[in-house]
Structure 1
Amino acid sequence: MPKQRNSARRHLELKRRIWWFKIGVPVAMRSHFDGRTHHRENLQTSDMRVAMERRDQVERDTRSLFRDIAAGKVISAATLSAREHGTVWRETLTDLRVADDDARNEFGWSPLDIAVSVAEEATERLRGKDRKEFEDAFTGKVPVDEHLEAYLKAIALADKTTNERRGLVKRFARWCDKEALKLPEINRRAVGRYVTAIIEPMDRRTAKKHMTALRGYWDYLTLRGHVEGKVMDGKAVDSPWLGQTLPDNKRRVERGDRNSGERAFDEKELQALLYGDYPEEVGAEFRQQIEDALRISCLSGMRLAEVVTLWVEEVHDEVFDIQQGKTRSAARKVPIHPDLKGIVERRTKDKKPKEWLFHELAGERDPGDTFGKRFNRYRKALKVDDVRDGKRRSAVNFHSARRWFITQARHAGHAKETIKDIVGHVPGEKDITFGTYTKGASEEQNRACVEAVKLPKRA
């Protein structure tokens, strides 16, 4: 098959220095598109590189829509509710406002003029509840989270991050609902009230995540024309979230505050997790994976996701050969502790190179999150918990095993730089000597450091 010419510009159309997405509509589906032969969508950018990125996402969404129509999952425009009709008309007019306005008919009417007139006629035909629903959707007087799922689909983040952002935006939406605020009524003053009442009392890290989610959602709303706002070079520049300050974490430290953050397991907690009676309510089928993963993390300093997603081929020559991870330093070789050899032999036996060490998690959509929830149930059932006032998360969790390894390696007298190499921490920007001019600890240093860590004995 000959290569498509100018494939970089596929489905792209430039109109008055704004890029549009354009794709042909199959004949059998044109009734769903008001008889149009082509479907267009404003990409709202003059930057071709940005347009190509947005084009790829819109193309995926459109082809998914085509498949749904073919499968009978999409209803025709004639059966849309009054609210859905209002939303369609609002989005249509938003597109036409930035479209080529030079094409006018013999009476001097532009496509936008005609569309406004038809929308007004549609409003006049409705009565009662239907008319109010149409007008609310048409004017954008909808709940704050009206476009949340479309936003989450557009940004295509990892499942865990997607769920986190959904929860944060919905929290703001619930507050707006209590305050009787609709989407067009969210201005800088309303946002400031929310920041003062809800975000400022939060821990700084939690507050930062909250602000990031809401700023991102508002940028999407602005770019898609759901809220008013200026757009320059494909970016929203006057969001009500811009300039909102985060709480200052440089507070006075009071008695008891110094150790209020997340921490390593202490010896008694780790003994309970390693040797305590297995709690029946967790499920016996999870026992082996919990015991194995906990020991691996305690004796390697590996992160949860690194442990549970290892391939068999990444366990070789007495090292865990981690190929990917959270940071640029995550790819590394961690010596296998002598006390882990039995687990490794059992979990690699008769497996193919691309199979998972923790094969029982391979079918999970988000194996790290799934295992983390199981471990938390296990931990709590064994009374290993540390929830402080004003904190949502326990100060101990699976990551405490990694912290425990680092603590034990440090207490054994090993160099900070060696420990960083093993656990995959990024060298400090100011640490020129060890961050720039060395290639890291030697294999012997790494192995000596790992083997110096010992699990606590039974109580």
Structure 2
Amino acid sequence: MVSTDTKHLKLRGNIWWYQRRIPKDLQNQFEGQTTISESLGTGDIREARHQRNILNGRLEERKFNAPNKGRHRFLELVQEMSDHQSQNPESWDEPYDLDKASKDGDEVFIHAYTTVNGRKDHRSRYTISLKEALNVWIRKFESDKTQDTISKVKKAVDNFLKHLKLYDVLLTDISKRQVHDYIEALQATYAKTTVQGQISRIRSIWTYCESLGEVSTASPFDGHSYTGGNNTNRKQPFTVEEIQWIKENVATREPNRRLLVELGVFTGCRISELCNLQMQHVVTEGDITAIYIATGKTDAAERVVPLTNELGLRVRALREGKQNDEPLLGFDNSSEMSRWFSRIKTENISTDSAKCFHSFRVMFSTAMQQAGVDELKAAAILGHKRGRTMTYGYYSRGYELQQLKEAYDQCVERIIW
């Protein structure tokens, strides 16, 4: 007997299409879309059914792994019922109609009730998911972290979930083996430090949720081994010839992008730090002009960096007539600027990934060392960890701008440009 199974299938011309309504509890994942209509690219009904079954399976998987919408209501009910129980141990459940909840199919209420009365603890079903945890982390740290950092943490979570082939996952369901396998997969393509950075970003979410009491088990992101040496993909300086090409060709008719590059060369600042500069971050003291790095990759990144007199004049000119919170260079997307510079570098200078905008930082640091600049002053300008003793690390207010400018000028003479 020939099968007539064409559920969720529609023939248009001689091509089968997959068509079905999106389940209500999944519509929030499809940005308001209520139906799926997708060409299966085949006129063979057997192949169409096979693809249909795969797509149906993926929808069910997304439904199974979707964030638990009843989580917050469950927690509130448990808290409310627990309060009643502590106040009236004998009659705490009188206000609650379990029979009605059963008739209505109110699973969240039933789970909360049976958790509090001790019949069965359902708390494990309502723990926080990774995407929920990410949003909690962002709300806490978005004012303290740069947009670049926030973006990298989001991407780390997204990549991890793609590896798991899940839309979302409960934090407590993430196993150490899953993290191990993810690290192994990353190490096939990326350098050791890059892989460590990816795991560290997701770990920071777990750690924050642990501090909130959302998770109490051991972190699956701890205790892993990473292959590759510490110098893997270490950034390399540009050669004299490469710097000369950059000087003569890059953004010669784009003042703000040109200034971005020159600030990279003459301050050693990270590209994200420069893109995050606002008009209010220009510091002036007499004839000295500096830029204030408010936030960066580490806690030590906050600092004041002097500029050459010529760069100082150009930066001051940008500030005139502008609002304090306007971007100093006219853009604040460091990823876009990094890609812009990378394209130019790859097409005209070198395909070596160890050479990039960060190479300017390597070269500036080298110039500091070659000029004999005091290491604590160099660290203060570059935004490295400094002052490890109690005297310098806790009580010291740091160097005066004039002292930093003297050390800076000592270094600038050795910069190739």
TM interval, short-chain normalised: 0.5 to 0.7
- Written as runs of structure 1 = structure 2, the 5 A alignment for 1:34-113 is 87-89=68-70, 91-101=72-82, 102=84, 111=96, 113=98
Could you tell me whether the CA contact under 8 Å between 2:294 and 2:302 is conserved in 1? yes
Equivalent-residue separation in structure 1 for 2:103 and 2:211 (angstroms) = 31
Q: Which amino acid aligns with 2:153?
A: R
Partner of 1:246: 224
Deviation (angstroms), 1:262: 1.6
TM-score (norm 1): 0.55
Deviation (angstroms), 1:451: 3.9
Partner of 1:320: 290
Is the counterpart of residue 117 in structure 1 residue 96 in structure 2?
no
Could you tell me whether the CA contact under 8 Å between 1:297 and 1:401 is conserved in 2? yes
| Equivalent position to 1:402, from 336, 341, 361 | 361
Could you tell me whether the CA contact under 8 Å between 1:299 and 1:454 is conserved in 2? yes
Equivalent-residue separation in structure 1 for 2:397 and 2:326 (angstroms) = 33
Partner of 2:60: none
SS at match of 2:330: helix
Deviation (angstroms), 1:404: 1.4
- Written as runs of structure 1 = structure 2, the 5 A alignment for 1:219-230 is none
Equivalent-residue separation in structure 2 for 1:451 and 1:206 (angstroms) = 31
Could you tell me whether the CA contact under 8 Å between 2:175 and 2:220 is conserved in 1? yes
Deviation (angstroms), 1:214: 3.6
- Written as runs of structure 1 = structure 2, the 5 A alignment for 1:201-220 is 203-217=191-205
- CA separation of 1:403 and 1:233: change in aligned 2, threshold 3 A: closer
Equivalent-residue separation in structure 1 for 2:380 and 2:131 (angstroms) = 46
Could you tell me whether the CA contact under 8 Å between 2:192 and 2:232 is conserved in 1? no
- CA separation of 1:117 and 1:429: change in aligned 2, threshold 3 A: same
- Written as runs of structure 1 = structure 2, the 5 A alignment for 1:52-451 is 87-89=68-70, 91-101=72-82, 102=84, 111=96, 113=98, 116-118=101-103, 120=105, 147=132, 150-151=135-136, 154-155=139-140, 157=142, 158-177=146-165, 183=170, 186=173, 188=175, 190-191=177-178, 193-195=180-182, 197-198=184-185, 203-217=191-205, 234-239=213-218, 241=220, 244-248=222-226, 260-276=233-249, 287-308=254-275, 309-311=277-279, 313-316=282-285, 317-322=287-292, 324-326=294-296, 330=301, 332-340=303-311, 343-344=314-315, 346-348=317-319, 350-352=320-322, 354=324, 358-361=328-331, 366-387=332-353, 395-427=354-386, 429=388, 440=399, 442=403, 445-451=406-412
Equivalent-residue separation in structure 2 for 1:321 and 1:193 (angstroms) = 42
- CA separation of 1:140 and 1:269: change in aligned 2, threshold 3 A: farther
The share of aligned pairs that are identical, in percent, is: 14
Could you tell me whether the CA contact under 8 Å between 2:295 and 2:301 is conserved in 1? yes
Equivalent-residue separation in structure 2 for 1:147 and 1:437 (angstroms) = 40
Equivalent-residue separation in structure 1 for 2:398 and 2:126 (angstroms) = 59
Equivalent-residue separation in structure 1 for 2:393 and 2:211 (angstroms) = 42
Deviation (angstroms), 1:401: 1.5
- Provide Cα deviations, 1:64-97, integer angstroms capped at 9, x if missing partner: xxxxxxxxx9xxxxxxxxx799954454334323
What's the Cα RMSD here? Answer: 4.9
SS at match of 1:320: strand
Equivalent-residue separation in structure 2 for 1:203 and 1:347 (angstroms) = 39
- CA separation of 1:451 and 1:94: change in aligned 2, threshold 3 A: closer
Deviation (angstroms), 1:418: 3.4
- CA separation of 1:203 and 1:435: change in aligned 2, threshold 3 A: farther
Q: Which amino acid aligns with 1:314?
A: V
Equivalent-residue separation in structure 2 for 1:357 and 1:444 (angstroms) = 24
Deviation (angstroms), 1:438: 9.8
Deviation (angstroms), 1:267: 1.9
- CA separation of 1:297 and 1:172: change in aligned 2, threshold 3 A: closer
Could you tell me whether the CA contact under 8 Å between 2:193 and 2:232 is conserved in 1? no
Deviation (angstroms), 1:100: 2.3
How many pairs were matched up?
A: 327
Could you tell me whether the CA contact under 8 Å between 1:305 and 1:368 is conserved in 2? yes
Deviation (angstroms), 1:238: 0.6
Could you tell me whether the CA contact under 8 Å between 1:418 and 1:449 is conserved in 2? no
SS at match of 1:99: helix
Could you tell me whether the CA contact under 8 Å between 1:264 and 1:404 is conserved in 2? yes
Deviation (angstroms), 1:176: 2.5
Could you tell me whether the CA contact under 8 Å between 1:93 and 1:115 is conserved in 2? no
Equivalent-residue separation in structure 2 for 1:232 and 1:443 (angstroms) = 39
- CA separation of 1:94 and 1:382: change in aligned 2, threshold 3 A: same
